[in-house]
Amino acid sequence: MAKYENVYFIGIGGIGMSAEARYFKFKGFKVSGYDRTPSDLTHKLEEEGIEVHYEDRPDLIPQDKEKTLVVYTPAIPAELEELQFVKENGYRVLKRSRLLGEITEGQRCLAVSGTHGKTTTSTLIAHILTQCGEGCTAFLGGISKNYRTNMLVSKTETVVAEADEFDHSFLQLHPEIAVISAMDADHLDIYGNLANYQQAFRDFAAQVSGTVIAKAGLPVSQADTKARLVRYAFEGPADYYGKNISPDESGHYSFDLVYPEGEIKGIRVGIPGWVNVENSVAAAAVCLIYGLSPEAVKDGIGTFKGVWRRLDFHINTPELVYVDDYAHHPQELEAAISSIRGIFPKRKLTAIFQPHLYSRTRDLAEGFAKALSAVDKLILLDIYPAREEPIPGVSSELIFDKVTAKEKVLLKKEELMDYLAKEPVDILATFGAGNIDRFIEPITALLEGRLR
C-alpha cells in the first residue's frame, strides 16, 4: 500500500466500505468516494473529512492512477460509468473483500461468519478486547453503540472482522480463530442452492489456522479443517455453553458460562434478548481461546451496549415500546421476534417488515411468512430492491398471502407514517435491511409524542 496516496471507494456508503474508508483515513491516505444516495453514514464520513459525491462522475476520481487504489462493492451495478472508467484506464481495482484480506494478511485475524449473528458477535469480541486493554483493529458490519463507529484502530496486530459470505467474500480471509454461527439458506442468487452455500462455509473453515468455533449442530466436521474444531451452544451439550440462564424484568439475561477449563459464573449480558446469550457464548469462546482472562470476558459482556439496528430499543416504557432490528432472513426474524416475546410475553406486538431483495423474497417467502405469523399484527412494505432489477411475479404479496397473523396490512412505504399516525400500538418493531432505517427517527418522534 505504500505507493498509494489516494484510496477511492465506489459505494462508500455501505457499512463494510465505510469501515475500510475510515481505516485508510486514519492511516493518513486521502480518501474519497461515490455513493448513490446520501445517508447518515455518508454524512458522518463527510464530517470526518472524507469527500463523498452522489453523481456518477468519473471526472471526480483522482486522476493519478499510479498513486490511486480503487475499491468497489459488488452491490454496485457493472454498468456504472465510474466502475467502467477505472477498469478501462489502468487503475488497480479491488473488491472490498479482497482489500480486507490484504489488510488482515500477516495479522492475528479473529473472524465471525454465519447467516446471522455475526455483527453483534464480532462487535462484542472487539469490545471485550478493547475494554480490557488488549486492543484490536475491527471492521464491523454495524455501528457499535459503545464507540459510535464501525471501525476501531489499535497498534496491536489483532484484527476482528465480520466475515461476510455474500459473493464468497469471506474466502479472502485466513483467520487464526473463526466463528460459524449459522448456515441457513441465503444468497441463493449467488450460490444456487443450500448445498453450495454450506460448502462455502466449509471452504472458509479450511482456511482457519487455529480454531474453528461452530454452533452445535451445524454441518461442519473436523474433516473439513486442519484447525481445531470446537462447538458452542445457548445451552449444552457443547464445549462452550450457557447454564442457569434467566432474564430479569428488563429482558437482560444472566447466565453461567461452561467452558473446557471451568465456569464463569454470574455473567449479565449488557443488552436484552435471549439471542444475545448465544452471541455472548460465541464471543466468550473466541476471547478465552485468544487468551483473555475470564474476568475480562465477564466484564466486557456486561458493559456491551450493542449495535445500532440489532434489537435496538428506542422507546421502552410500560406504556409503549419501540424496537428496531436489521433482521432480513426468516431465522433472524424468528430469533428477534421470540426475543421480544420473551421480554414482553403478554403484550400486543405489531411488526413492520420491509423485504430485502427480490431473489431472497422469491426463495424464502414461506420462511418469511412463518416467522412473521408469530406477531399479532403485520404491516408489510414493498420489497427493497438494493442491487437487483425486479423479477416478474415477485412482490411482497408472496409473503403476505401466506401470513396467518391475526391482523395484517400491505402498504407502500410512502403510506406508512400516515397509517401509523392513526394506529394504536403497544409494542412496535421495525425489521429489514433496506431503507426502513429512514423511518426510525420519525417513528420515534411520533410515538414519543403519545407519551407526553
pLDDT tens per residue, range 357-409: 999 999 999 999 999 999 999 999 999 998 789 999 999 999 999 999 999 99
Could you tell me the pLDDT band of residue 74, with boundaries at 50, 70 and 90? Answer: confident
What is the H or E stretch that residue 25 is in? helix 15-26
| pLDDT > 80? residue 301 | yes
Sign of CA dihedral 324, 336, 274, 121: negative
Question: Which residue ranges make up each domain of the chain?
Answer: 6-96, 105-303, 312-451
Q: Classify domain 6-96 at the CATH class level.
A: alpha beta
Identify which of 297, 290, 294, 292 has the alpha carbon closest to the alpha carbon of residue 270. 297
State the burial class of residue 136 (Cβ atoms within 10 Å of its Cβ: 0-12, 13-18, 19+). Answer: buried
Rounded to the nearest integer, the mean pLDDT of the chain is: 95
pLDDT tens per residue, range 111-129: 999 988 999 999 999 999 9
Q: Round to whole Å and give the CA distance between 406 and 146.
A: 38
Q: Round to whole Å and give the CA distance between 450 and 411.
A: 23
Q: Classify domain 105-303 at the CATH class level.
A: alpha beta
Residue range 312-451 in CATH 3.90.190.20? yes
Mean pLDDT, residues 138-164: 95
Q: Round to whole Å and give the CA distance between 101 and 95.
A: 10
pLDDT of residue 166: 85
Residue 385, C-beta contacts closer than 8 angstroms, at least 6 positions apart: 357, 358
